[in-house]
């Protein structure tokens, strides 16, 4: 590498010699591990010459004076943004924001974004955040922030523009299929993400929502399961909701899967370097017991969510319901350059226990259920039953006859609107228990063994 540096210097104008040395130092810090491989050839000198010539012309001819540090950082950003949508250069606030996201508290709107065709695409809004309450949906395109067009801007820069002091407003312009672009003015809040929450749907049936995978999400899930079993005893079924969960920490997804299986592979990764090849397996602990499990996914379920759904699907431990997931099957590693700068680099792809890569494919649900709303209809006043008839006979059960005539007309505010996929998941769990009641026979680790 020293020889290449010297050769490159001989090609440069004296004004660029020191600048190029700085750039090469930064370049080496990013790619040392890759360049050290025997298969990696020398830097192409023609391209090095072209780069430095472009750098010199920008410095000399750009309409405004621009400092060398900015040019070099932009060059690094360009290198990474040209690789894939998830590799990025992070400096200053961007680096801090990443740390805040993984630990679970930051100021902003609560939205996970990516890039599609040069625009900023919403992967998913985070539950109970300003973005979620304002009605932003997975799949929306953000085309402007505070009237600044976002075409070709990096997702990290867009996310930084949406962050800010709690109580301040930001206006985002949304492009959504079937509608003209529209503006939403949203007030920033402190986003303290509770990654796990639960409630009972009915007696014996629990609902667990994972909104994101943070460092402690696996521990939070185990605590929720312990509380559910302590308060309600053995459960007949659990719905694990991963819809619009943008993912997060790989190790957190491993621990979530481990809560429901007792043996076998959970996920493995493969990359160019041996140190990026990892494999994670289940422990014997079983906080989820053998309770029947339905996992809900949709197009906003990405990355770590897909690891969980794919692993549970391959093990036959859960029935996956909903719509095809996002399809992000790559793993990013944060490589610090110094205390305030780092690169987020795609270093490997992950695979489900059965060897499936979901990159750009997603997890296909076992049962496809589209997003919809279920509205309970009020009883038609023209319909009546035996209990409504005058002079009817008593039933002999010492129970009062059920009369619904007075409840036939209800206001619009009283119409119950339910989550259709969740309702279908609950019905499926009831069907499993009706076919094989929990006390009918002991289960052997899985309620739905699947031939793969």
Give the DSSP letter string of 127-157: TTSHHHHHT--TT-EEEEETTEE-TT--HHH
183 and 326 inside one domain: no
3-state helix, strand, coil in the chain (%, to 5): 35, 25, 40
68 and 44 inside one domain: yes
Q: Confirm whether 94 is domain-assigned.
A: no
322 and 233 inside one domain: yes
114 and 207 inside one domain: no
168 and 253 inside one domain: no
pLDDT digits (tens, 9 = 90+) for 213-224: 988 899 999 999
pLDDT at 57: 94
Measured distance CA(409)–CA(380) in Å, rounded: 8
pLDDT digits (tens, 9 = 90+) for 52-83: 899 999 999 999 999 998 999 999 999 998 99
pLDDT at 329: 96
Alpha-carbon dihedral 213, 217, 218, 221, rounded to 10 degrees: -120
Phi, psi dihedral angles at 154 (to 5 degrees)? -80, 145
**157 in Cβ contact with 170 (< 8 Å):** no
pLDDT digits (tens, 9 = 90+) for 193-238: 678 999 999 999 999 999 889 888 999 999 999 999 999 999 999 9
129 and 14 inside one domain: no
**62 in Cβ contact with 112 (< 8 Å):** no
Average pLDDT over the chain reads 81
207 and 314 inside one domain: yes
Q: Which residues span the domain enclosing 50?
A: 2-82
Least confident of 102-116, 129-143, 374-388: 374-388
pLDDT digits (tens, 9 = 90+) for 261-291: 999 999 999 999 999 999 999 999 999 999 9
Least confident of 27-36, 112-121, 373-382: 27-36
SS3 call for 18: helix
Domain boundary pick from 174, 192, 210:
192
203 and 342 inside one domain: yes
Q: Which residues does the annotation mark as catalytic?
A: 303, 314, 328
Structure tokens at 174: 């949304």
Q: Which residue has the tokens 């004004």?
A: 15
CATH number at residue 180: 2.30.42.10
How many CB atoms are located within 10 Å of the residue 112 CB? 24
Residue ranges of the alpha helices (H) in 295-452? Answer: 304-314, 420-435
Give the chain's count of helices (H) and strands (E): 11, 21
435 and 333 inside one domain: yes
Domain boundary pick from 192, 221, 243:
192
Q: Which residue has the higher pLDDT, 257 or 439?
A: 257
> pTM of the prediction?
0.71
């Amino acid at each position: 590498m020293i020889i290449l540096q010297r050769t490159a210097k001989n090609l440069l104008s004296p004004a660029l010699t020191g600048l190029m040395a700085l750039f090469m130092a930064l370049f080496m810090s990013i790619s040392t591990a890759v360049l050290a491989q025997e298969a990696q050839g020398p830097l192409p000198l023609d391209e090095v010459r072209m780069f430095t010539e472009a750098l010199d012309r920008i410095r000399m001819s750009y309409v405004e004076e621009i400092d060398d540090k900015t040019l070099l950082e932009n060059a690094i950003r360009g290198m990474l943004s040209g690789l894939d949508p998830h590799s990025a250069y992070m400096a200053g606030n961007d680096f801090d924001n990443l740390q805040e996201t993984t630990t679970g508290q930051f100021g902003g709107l609560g939205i996970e974004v990516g890039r599609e065709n040069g625009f900023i695409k919403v992967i998913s809004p985070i539950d109970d955040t300003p973005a979620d309450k304002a009605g932003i949906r997975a799949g929306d395109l953000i085309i402007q922030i505070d009237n600044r067009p976002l075409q070709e801007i990096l997702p990290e820069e867009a996310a930084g523009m949406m962050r800010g002091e709690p109580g301040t407003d930001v206006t985002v312009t949304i492009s959504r299929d079937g509608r003209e672009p529209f503006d939403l003015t949203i007030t920033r809040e402190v986003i303290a993400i509770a990654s796990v929450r639960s409630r009972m749907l009915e007696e014996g049936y629990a609902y667990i929502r994972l909104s994101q995978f943070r460092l402690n999400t696996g521990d939070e899930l185990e605590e929720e399961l312990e509380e559910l079993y302590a308060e309600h005893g053995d459960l007949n079924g659990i719905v694990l909701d991963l819809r619009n969960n943008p993912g997060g920490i790989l190790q957190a997804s491993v621990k979530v899967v481990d809560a429901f299986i007792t043996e076998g592979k959970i996920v493995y990764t493969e990359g160019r370097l041996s140190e990026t090849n990892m494999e994670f397996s289940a422990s014997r602990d079983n906080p989820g017991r053998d309770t029947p499990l339905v996992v809900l996914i949709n197009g906003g379920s990405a990355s770590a969510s897909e690891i969980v759904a794919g692993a549970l699907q391959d093990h036959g431990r859960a029935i996956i319901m909903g719509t095809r997931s996002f399809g992000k099957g790559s793993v990013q590693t944060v490589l610090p350059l110094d205390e305030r700068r780092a690169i987020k680099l795609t270093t490997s792809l992950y695979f489900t226990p059965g060897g499936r890569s979901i990159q750009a494919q997603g997890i296909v649900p076992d049962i496809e259920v589209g997003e919809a709303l279920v509205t309970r209809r009020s009883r038609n006043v023209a319909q009546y039953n035996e209990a409504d008839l005058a002079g009817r006979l008593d039933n002999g059960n010492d129970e009062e006859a059920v009369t619904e005539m007075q409840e036939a007309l209800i206001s619009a505010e009283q119409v119950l609107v339910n989550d259709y996929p969740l309702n279908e998941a609950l019905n499926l769990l009831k069907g499993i228990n009706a076919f094989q009641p929990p006390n009918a026979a002991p289960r052997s680790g899985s309620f739905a063994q699947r031939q793969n």
